[in-house]
Amino acid sequence: MKIIIINGPNLNLLGKREPEIYGNMTFADYFSELKQRYPSVALEYYQSNIEGELIDKIQQVGFSYDGIILNAAAYTHTSVGIGDAVNAIATPVIEVHISNTFARETFRHQSFVSANAKGIIIGFGLKSYELALQSFL
């Protein structure tokens, strides 16, 4: 089973960025734990701070992979282009967020991804990614 985690802007700073919201762990450390825990899954990771690069990656994997775990971060709330890309592909997408976006500012309550996602997992910290992975299994 081929699954990719795609992270959007500023998620390269996990571990340093607002640890009271996002925790102390780097995504590299979390990702290597996840790979060890699910050795039977061909699990990949991609991160970009650039909207068009995220769209390119969604298109690139979106007809051949078994699943995409997408945290589009701030672009979740602004990007019609990412929402359209999720709608355009064949691979199912699970939208994830580390924090509970509904317990935060109102602008974080809107998502251009949700309507086109297979499911949504929000607010379980980094565990959100593992729950999404389990949903594919």
User: Which residues does the annotation mark as catalytic?
Assistant: 22, 97
CA-CA distance, 81 to 102, in Å (whole number)? 22
Q: Are strands 67-71 and 2-7 parallel, antiparallel or unpaired?
A: parallel
- Give the torsion sign (CA, 80, 81, 85, 86): negative
Residue 10 touching ligand DQA (CB under 6 A): yes
Number of residues that bind ligand DQA (CB under 6 A): 10
CA-CA distance, 60 to 51, in Å (whole number)? 14
Residue 14 touching ligand DQA (CB under 6 A): no
Which is nearer to ligand DQA, 10 or 114 (by Cβ)?
A: 10
CA-CA distance, 73 to 98, in Å (whole number)? 9
Residue 111 touching ligand DQA (CB under 6 A): no
CB 79 within 8 A of CB 95: no
Give the x-and-dash track for 57-86 against ligand DQA (CB under 6 A).
--------------x-xx-x----------
Residue 108 touching ligand DQA (CB under 6 A): yes
- Could you list the residues that contact ligand DQA (CB under 6 A)? 10, 71, 73-74, 76, 97-99, 101, 108
